[in-house]
A and B are shown apart, each in its own frame.
Chain A
């Protein structure tokens, strides 16, 4: 896939797939396994300092793809290139040396923080163990990080349990930016927060991107927050990237029927803007046995005979903007 940016991509995923083999639920036949194609042939790239949002519903494979992107998981096939290096099969020491450059912010801020450590220790740990900072240099850097994410350095001694949801997520962010990463995977990083806090954290993430030049792989299921933060959007459905392009373009003029449905179904807190609600038929199909041809055809209001027999082609709408649908040909 081509990128609009002229500079080399920070992260490139090429034809990445991840298959899990799932034991059959029938207990007497444990050898019978099914293959779950959680991610199936996805290519995308993220430019330095860019926010790339991955949206889709549960089971779309967006979290699996995110874990592959920061190499918390190894793809079954395809390649992961991080600032020019092929890191697809890195392991052990190689991988550990790579980790500081790609960090993660998790959805559940409480679960991601060790309950037996103080906020200050949590932020100091990577600086100490990997950055090699000691003494007052360490203290100063932790204070600096606390202030950078909008925390009072006096809260260094607080344990995660005593902090509010927003403060916990700020601690998680401080830990993630401690080693000056180039890429951060934000996996539903604001989804679990209250709306007023969500806006605070979203602003913080955007501010850090501008000031530190961090690129984000921002995984979310809510479109409004994605519109606010992302420069580019990838829409996933059942393991496939069905539409991928500039955020404004995709949201204003979606080409794939699924993207249209997703936008139409997103609740909007405006009475005047009350639009026609799009109700898709049925629930997402079981990812263990996806439909033939186009995976969206079972719920697509515009499905044709062709959709059942052939997988849709990837159509390039403009350079850097693609969609997978028979209707676009």
Chain B
């Protein structure tokens, strides 16, 4: 499964993004709002075809099939079966007029056609218990507004699993949920991924969430992938200054507390205002002359890609991107506890 890169004009919402997802692995796409992470996920689902203003170029290969050459009905057939998606707002993704049962039945039918009633009921209950809902009978009869946010998200995941997908795309699935509920949903996603051996593409703005579940991390900035590496590489020794900056901005729960949080000055440009060269260079403490004129190439090493002319050397602690020289982006000394 891979999405191939093509050159695009400067106003591209997502520009020359290529990556591949592996079965049984969780890949996190992280970035701030406007980085193009959500639209990338929707493009894989073929959902961007429904937006006339967006045109997609490049190749998307799924399980040996060229999605980019398929017509809309064929992609629609894949959607909800081989590729399933879970969205941020579980409440609004479910239809308030129908019971959870009838909505799940519909998802099951997409894969299995019409099922005899007895068989259907068993399957529905099995699905719900699979996503950690013990009292399935009650939930099946409920309408979405009678359930909590966490419960709705579990139902949405059950609906996605009903099609027995090979790829599950989750777009900020826990952002609207409380942290204690989020922990449950993340654990659930990880469990079903190992049990079913699917690929999971998790879109998130939260570096913490990525650190918890990711095997592979794609960091996006202004429509481009700036770093693509294993989670260990990204969190232990980020090469791209933006990645390092993002990590240092998040305050820690343990260890030394800085008197001032490291920051990245400024904010992300919109695609129309994307500066030439490296889009990050105006905010980057490591930028050189070259960064403002030439778009950095992807440096490719096995399992490690980054687009930077002046990457952070892995043997040293990453430099902070902001003007706070006393503080480093890496995790401070371990807590004494």
Contact = CB atoms under 8 A, between A and B. Distances in A.
A284 interface: yes
Interface stretch (B62-70, B98-106, B158-166, B201-209): B201-209
A196 B245 contact: yes
Which of A166, A206, A265, A266 has the most CB atoms of chain B within a 10 A radius of its CB? A265
B262 A199 contact: yes
Contacts of A252: 337
A277 B187 contact: yes
A202 interface: yes
A276 B250 CA distance: 20
B181 A278 contact: no
A273 B331 contact: yes
B33 A194 contact: yes
B312 to A, nearest CB: 16
Interface stretch (B10-18, B43-51, B230-238, B294-302): B230-238
A223 B337 CA distance: 19
B252 A224 contact: yes
Contacts of B263: 196, 199-200, 203
Given A194-B32, A199-B261, A273-B254, A165 B150 contact: no
Interface in B139-191: 148-151, 178-184, 186-187
Nearest to B146: A25
A283 interface: yes
Which of B206, B236, B253, B263 has the most CB atoms of chain A within a 10 A radius of its CB? B253
Interface residues of A, number: 46
Given A196-B245, A196-B267, A267 B182 contact: yes
A98 interface: no
12 contacts: A57-B179, A194-B33, A195-B246, A221-B179, A224-B208, A227-B253, A268-B253, A272-B331, A277-B187, A277-B212, A280-B183, A284-B178
B249 A199 contact: yes
Given A269-B250, A273-B331, A284-B178, A165 B267 contact: yes
B210 interface: yes
Interface of A: 57-58, 164-167, 194-200, 202-203, 206, 221-225, 227-228, 251-252, 261-274, 277-280, 283-284, 299
B188 to A, nearest CB: 9
B314 interface: no
Contacts of B138: none
Nearest to A265: B183
A262 B178 CA distance: 10
Contacts of B245: 196
Nearest to A56: B178
B211 A271 contact: yes
Given A268-B252, A277-B183, 16 more contacts: A194-B33, A194-B268, A195-B205, A221-B178, A223-B253, A224-B250, A224-B252, A227-B252, A251-B253, A252-B337, A263-B253, A265-B183, A267-B208, A273-B252, A279-B183, A283-B150
A50 to B, nearest CB: 16
Contacts of B267: 164-167, 194, 196-197
A251 to B, nearest CB: 7
B235 A269 contact: yes
Contact of B250 (A58, A195, A274): A195
Given A194-B205, A271-B236, A227 B257 contact: yes
A146 B153 CA distance: 42
Contact of B178 (A58, A206, A277, A278): A58
Given A197-B267, A266-B208, A272-B331, A228 B251 contact: yes
B253 A261 contact: no
Contacts of A267: 179, 182, 186, 206, 208-209, 211-212
A49 to B, nearest CB: 16
